[in-house]
Amino acid sequence: MAGEIPDLNALERTGTGKGAARQARRDGMVPGIVFGGDKEPLPINLPFNALLKRLKDGRFKATLFNLKVDGHEDVRVICRDVQRDVVKDLPTHVDFLRLRRTTKINLYIPVEFVGEDVAPGIKKGGVLTVVRPEVELVVTAGDIPEKITVDLSTLKIGDIVHISDVTLPEGTKPTIDRDFVIANISAPSGLAAQEAEEAEEAAAAAAEEATTEEA
């Protein structure tokens, strides 16, 4: 089941060239272009404030959008470039790529953790440490998973969840080749300190015993 794809609203830009782009900026818009998908490029204008908010939210270039332009069918797009003012670092132009439903793209997919209430390690006071709340996957534009699920119900203190432990949605794969960590269940600070203290005492006792034997 594909996750909800955020809408991105734009207007068709009637003029082209630097003059039309400058006028768009004076009108509080950011000019852009939509290309690819075996169709003619479509010049657009995006509301500056809405675009800036999207950019500040992060991962703009790794988010799939449903582009809505009056007079045109909605289309799925992904950002390929954001040009910025060299002094103010504000967006001055945006390039979008149209996607077919079969196009493979890299997207960050949220991780959902289940079974936390029955996990043996957590019931004994262990602490769940989430290393990756989302994972970058290669997905198909027409079938984007809403999330990936990690089952914690059998995990004990000290257990680690790697990406290889997770059943990924069909047709997806991680963008990173190595078997990276998603989460782990660590000992509570008090228990960890106690175990460290016991280890130090055992080491000291062993050293003392070795010294006695040498004597």
Could you tell me the CATH superfamily of domain 7-99? Answer: Ribosomal Protein L25; Chain P (2.40.240.10)
> By the 8 A CB rule, do 181 and 162 touch?
yes
Q: Which of 80, 149, 142 is nearest to 116 (CA)?
A: 149
pLDDT at 153: 95
Say what the pLDDT of residue 192 is: 47
3-state secondary structure of 19: helix
HEC letters along 69-100: ECCCCCEEEEEEEEEECCCCCCEEEEEEEECC
Which pLDDT score, from 0 to 100, does residue 135 have?
94
Token pair of 200, please? 């130090």
Enumerate the domain spans of the chain. 7-99, 105-192
Please answer whether residues 80 and 97 qualify as being in contact, where contact means their C-beta atoms are separated by less than 8 angstroms. yes
CATH of span 105-192: 2.170.120.20
pLDDT in single tens digits along all 215 residues of the chain: 345 789 999 999 987 778 888 888 899 999 999 998 888 999 999 999 999 999 999 889 888 899 999 999 999 999 999 999 999 999 999 999 999 888 888 888 999 999 999 999 999 999 999 999 999 999 998 888 889 999 999 999 999 999 999 999 888 999 999 999 999 999 886 554 455 555 666 666 666 665 655 55
- Buried b / exposed e along 32-55 (16+ C-beta atoms within 10 A): bbbebeeeeebbbbbebeebeebb
How much is the pLDDT for 4?
74
